[in-house]
Every structure is written in C-alpha cells, then in structure tokens.
Amino acid sequence: MLSTKFLILTCFSVALMLVDARLQVLKPVRSSLGMVLTPMYWLGDLPVRTWSEVAQMFSSRTDLLAENEELRAETLLMQRRLQKLATLTEQNVRLRELLNSSALIDDRVLVAELIGIDPNPYTHRVLINKGSSSGVTLGQPVLDARGVMGQVVEVMPYTSRVLLITDSNHSLPVQVNRNGLRAIISGTGDLESLELRYVTDTADIREGDLLVTSGMGQRFPVGYPVAVVSEVQRNTGQPFTQIEALPAANLNRSRYLLLVFSDAKGSTQDLDEEVESALEDAKQLLKATETTAAEAQ
C-alpha cells in the first residue's frame, strides 16, 4: 500500500516538473506559493539573522573598545613626549644661561647638577652630584646663572650638600654695588626673602640696589650678585634700619650650578684651562640634551 502511494506521488512529481520545465502553466501557481511561503522562510531564517546581528554588534563594540584603548595609549605616549620635550627645552635654556655666566667668571669653576632637596622644612639644603672626587671642598661657593646660591657644608666622595643663602643659619658679607656700603645679609627661612642686619639708620641704601659679595669673609670671591633690595624701613628711634632683599639666584628653580674655585696663586694659564674645561663639560651636557630633544621629536 505504501509502495503504491509512493510510486503514484513520484510519478506525479515527475509529471509536474516536466510540465513546469516545458510549459508556463504552473508559473502563476509557483509565484502564489512563493508569496504564501515567504513568511515561513523569514521565520525560519530569523534565528540565524538574529544571531549574526548580535555577534556583529558585540564584535563592533569590542573593536571600538580596542581601538579606543589603542588611541588612549598613543595619546599618553604623545603627551609624555611633549612633556619631555618641554623639559629638555627648558634645560637647554638653563644650560645656555649657565654657559654665558661661566664665561664671565675669572675663577676656576665646575659645573654640577642638583639631584636632591633636604625634606626638612626648617633648613634650606640641596644635594649636588659633585664631591671630593671632583675636588669639592667645605665652604666652597655655589652659584647659578644669576647669582650666589650658597656654600658647600658637607662633602662626600661623589656628592655634596649645599646650604642656601636663605637658610636662617646662613649669613654673608655683602656690599652695595652702587656705593660700596658694606653689610651682612642673612637668611630668613623663606626662599624669596633675605634681610640685611646692622645697617645704620643713616646708611645710603635704597630699594633696587644690587648687593654683591664683598669678599670680606674670605670665602666668597668679590663681585658676585647676591640680592636686590626690595624694601627699606627706617624707624625713628631705632639704631638699625629694617631692610629686606630678594635673592638674585633662582633658588627654587635652578638645576645646573657652578662650584667656584678661588685660587689666587694659580697662573692665568691654569685658570684659563680650568674655565675651558668647565665650559666644555657644560657644552657636552647641552649637546646631550639637544640630542635627546631631537629624538623625542
């Protein structure tokens, strides 16, 4: 019975295929059946299309997140380069100022770099990268490109500690560059302020006067800028005038410093050779920073 039905259906199917292939009679029927079956095709394909769209959505989100992370990393790298380039540019400026300053100094000098600051808020001391192996001695004057910064108070083999002129325990003999008036300038514990002590009420000193080392203490050579008078208060009935001054050196910004060797017995030729050597060291530092800046670009 089943075999007979199967045979009949097979013959009917073959007959329909032959009629459809030879004649156009079944074309309208096929079109109608296609319209009827289209929703069924759509429903049958729905799970596949849904899965594909969801996968694509997650894939696009993952790609976007990865791209964002990559862009953030590139942005940080570029910002680091810009920061480094700005730092190197400022170092070049400071080194050029230091070269110009050392060229005007007759004494023997040594270029040093500031590598540390004393964390104690009640003392003003810094650490430099030159020590006894470089010939540094106790009491040696330290300058930056603008003026006197302080003096060496502790010497180690490869480093030294420098007491800044603004430290409350530091005093320095100076003179007014305009008229040669001598005085003692002392630190106040403030990096932006110094004070002159024991100046009489009748002394010829005014705001804007440049104070330079007098050489009276036998430690700082004569003529180095120390400070500029910022305020003069004369109090009637008081024996001394209250005078404040601003340090000439950039105490809280300078990174490259000069150690001064005062050698009155040395020959002029020896001094010239030492100055040339110090200048050459500074030029090498400048060249190295310029090379690093070029690589950063």
Task: Choose among 262, 244, 235: nearest CA to 152.
Answer: 262
Hunting for tokens 């050029």 — which residue is that? 96
What is the number of domains present in the chain? Answer: 1
pLDDT of residue 174: 93
Hunting for tokens 């309208």 — which residue is that? 28
Answer whether residue 32 is part of any domain.
Answer: no
Whether 149 contacts 249, CB under 8 Å: yes
pLDDT of residue 196: 93
pLDDT of residue 264: 42
Residue by residue, what is the 3-state secondary structure of 43-78?
HHHHHHHHHHHHHHHHHHHHHHHHHHHHHHHHHHHH
Answer whether residue 287 is part of any domain.
Answer: no
Beta pairing class for 182-187 and 242-247: unpaired
Answer whether residue 130 is part of any domain.
Answer: yes
Query: Looking at residue 216, which CATH number applies to its domain?
Result: 2.40.10.340
For the entire predicted model, the pTM comes to: 0.60
Answer whether residue 89 is part of any domain.
Answer: no
> Phi, psi (5° rounding) for residue 208?
95, -10
* Residue 265 in tokens: 């017995």
Answer whether residue 184 is part of any domain.
Answer: yes
Alpha-carbon gap, residue 87 to 289, rounded angstroms: 10
pLDDT of residue 163: 96
pLDDT of residue 293: 61
pLDDT of residue 283: 62
275 Cβ contact list (under 8 Å, min separation 6) = 102, 103, 105, 108, 109
Q: Would you call 297 helix, strand, or coil by DSSP? A: coil
pLDDT of residue 33: 64
Q: Along the 297 residues of the chain, how does pLDDT read in single tens digits?
A: 667 877 887 887 777 777 666 666 666 766 666 666 667 767 777 777 777 777 777 667 777 888 887 887 677 667 656 655 655 666 676 676 666 666 656 567 888 889 999 888 889 999 999 999 999 999 999 998 888 999 999 999 999 999 999 999 999 999 999 888 999 999 999 999 999 988 888 889 999 999 999 888 778 888 889 999 999 998 877 888 899 999 999 898 888 888 988 654 433 444 455 445 555 665 665 666 666 666 656
Give one DSSP letter per residue of 179-218, joined into a string: T--EEEEEE-S-TT-EEEES-BTT----TTPEEEE-STTS
Answer whether residue 222 is part of any domain.
Answer: yes
Answer whether residue 255 is part of any domain.
Answer: yes
Answer whether residue 233 is part of any domain.
Answer: yes
Range of the domain at 250: 108-262
